[in-house]
Amino acid sequence: RPEFALELGQKAMLVTGHSSMRRAGVLDRVVGDLKNNGVDTLVFDKVVPNPRASTMDEGARMARQEGIELVIGLGGGSAMDTAKGIVLASTGTKPIWDYIGTDIKVSGPLLPLILVPTMAATGSEANGGASITKRETREKAYIFTPYMFPKVSIIDPELTLTVPKKQTATGGVDIFCHAVEGYITTQEPSMVNDGIIEAVLRTVVELLPKVLDKLDDIGMRTELSWASTIACSQLIALGGGYGPRTCHSISNFLGGYYDVAHGDCLAAILPVWMRYTLPVRAERFHALG
């Protein structure tokens, strides 16, 4: 890990949340490793679920003021997305919310980004997208741009060993939704791509109940980490064989309005969506088996 970092910058901002903080071992080890390899680290630990536009703006301002050369996101989807938002917003002086819905252009240099997921869930480490919530107006949006694509992502399933039961479960639901939504809604299925998505779904369905009984099993945690990363990479939409993510879109409204955690939203939406979608997409449910 530290070797990658030094090539990218000597002054890093480490973006993480309070709950990651509590897993003190990990944070201390990362900061220590970076220091031993010549990288100074500023810890920015203000990340919350449904990550806030205001947090990203604060981080971006600090990154500019402190002359940060490298941004590292360590944690779940919220930490990674906040790190992405900081990278994008720190290229200029306008707030992150202003980038939504526009043809995204940056006016200044882009800080390199390293992402280190500590949960198998959002797969944010494998794409250039981020969720952003504006608490004042109870809105939640999603932006996507190659500017927020990580330079390096370090997927280490050992970091997921201490994720508690409930977050492990909702993380699994998130992975399942990433894979199943487009599978069901696609208008142009592809044989190779169907097989890849089915591999992810089969892994979650078979392993999730087992891992909940044995949270420290590194083998199963590793499989879930791979499933998570693939489910949110471009692989899942190979050749266009992937439709819209309906549950995720609905979830943005719930998350924005009620500030409910992403995985909880999805767990509530998924069964209802399946019943609603079944009659019109019966052949895709059938293909799923």
Closest to a second copy by CB, 164 vs 213, is 213
Strand 152-153 relative to strand 139-144: parallel, antiparallel, unpaired?
unpaired
Q: Which of 5, 116, 227, 261 binds a second copy (CB under 8 A)?
A: 227
Other CB atoms within a 10 A radius of the CB of residue 137 amount to 11
Q: Is 222 in the site for a second copy (CB under 8 A)?
A: yes
Q: Does 237 bind a second copy (CB under 8 A)?
A: no
Instruction: Kindly state the smallest distance separating residue 239's Cβ from a second copy, in Å.
Output: 6
Residue with tokens 């995985």: 263
β-pairing verdict for 40-47 and 11-17: parallel
For residue 141, the minimal CB distance to a second copy (Å) is 30
Which residue in 193, 243, 247, 255 binds a second copy (CB under 8 A)? Answer: 193
100 touches a second copy by CB under 8 A? no
Burial class (CB in 10 A: 0-12, 13-18, 19+), 195: exposed
**Using CB under 8 A, which of 62, 152, 154, 238 touches a second copy?**
238
Q: Which is nearer to a second copy, 105 or 210 (CB)?
A: 210
Radius of gyration for the alpha carbons in the chain, expressed in angstroms and rounded:
19
Site string for a second copy, 4-33 (x = CB under 8 A): ------------------------------
Regarding 235 and contact with a second copy (CB under 8 A), the answer is yes
Backbone angles phi, psi at 137, to 5 degrees: -105, 5
Candidate residues 57, 81, 174, 194; the one interacting with a second copy per rule CB under 8 A: 194
Pairing of strands 129-134, 113-117: unpaired
In 9-45, alpha helices (H):
18-22, 24-36
Dist. CA 31–CA 39, nearest whole Å: 9
Stretch that binds a second copy, among 21-29, 48-56, 97-105, 190-198 (CB under 8 A): 190-198
Instruction: CB nearer to a second copy: give 43 or 238.
Output: 238
Place of tokens 């088996």: 289
Residue 131 φ/ψ, nearest 5 degrees: -90, 140
Distance of closest approach, residue 257 Cβ to a second copy, in angstroms: 35
Look-up of token digits 């280490």: 156
Which residues of this chain interact with a second copy, rule CB under 8 A? 190-196, 198-200, 202-203, 206-207, 222-223, 226-227, 230, 235, 238-239
